[in-house]
Amino acid sequence: MQATPEHHARIARMTFASVYPHYVTKVEKKGRSRAELHTVIEWLTGYNEKDLQQIIAERQTFETFFKRATLHPNAHLITGTICGYRIEELDNTLTRQVRYLDKLVDELARGRKLEKILRPDPPAPK
C-alpha cells in the first residue's frame, strides 16, 4: 500500500494520548503488561514513564512526540508490514517512526520475547 501526503499529515496531527490507551488495551488483552509496553516505548524513544505521563497530559502530536524523542540507533532494524504498509518502504520519516512504534506494540501483543523486540545489535561480520 502506498501512503499519501494526506495520510502523512493525518498521522502528524494525531496525538499520542489518543493512541496510547489502544496500545495498553492491545497488549493487556494478550496477557502482556503496561510495564512491558513502557519498556518497548522507552527503548524506541528514550521516554520513561514520567515523560509519557507529561506527553499525554500535554496531548502532544506524534510530530512533536518524535521530534523530541531520541530514537534508538537500532530502530532501522524494525522491518515488516504493519497496517498494510511495509515499514522499510515508507518515505516519510515521521510515518515510518510511528509505524516502528506500532510494529513493536504488535510484536509485544503477539507474544514475542522482549529480548527480540528490543532489536539487539546485529552480530559483527566474521
The CATH number that applies at residue 109 is 1.10.8.290
Q: How many residues does the chain have?
A: 126
pLDDT (tens digit, 9 = 90+) per residue, 24-77?
A: 999 999 999 999 999 999 999 999 999 999 999 999 999 999 999 999 999 999
Give the number of domains in the chain: 1
Q: How confident is residue 124, by pLDDT bands cut at 50, 70 and 90?
A: low
| Residue 5 confidence (pLDDT) | 82
> Quick check: is 40 in a domain?
yes
> Quick check: is 96 in a domain?
yes
What distance in Å separates the CA atoms of residue 29 and residue 109, rounded to the nearest whole number? 8
> Quick check: is 107 in a domain?
yes
Q: pTM here?
A: 0.91
Domain that holds residue 81: 5-117
What distance in Å separates the CA atoms of residue 62 and residue 11, rounded to the nearest whole number? 7
Helix locations, the chain, DSSP H: 5-13, 16-29, 34-45, 49-58, 62-68, 93-109, 114-117
The residue whose grid cell reads 528490543 is: 118
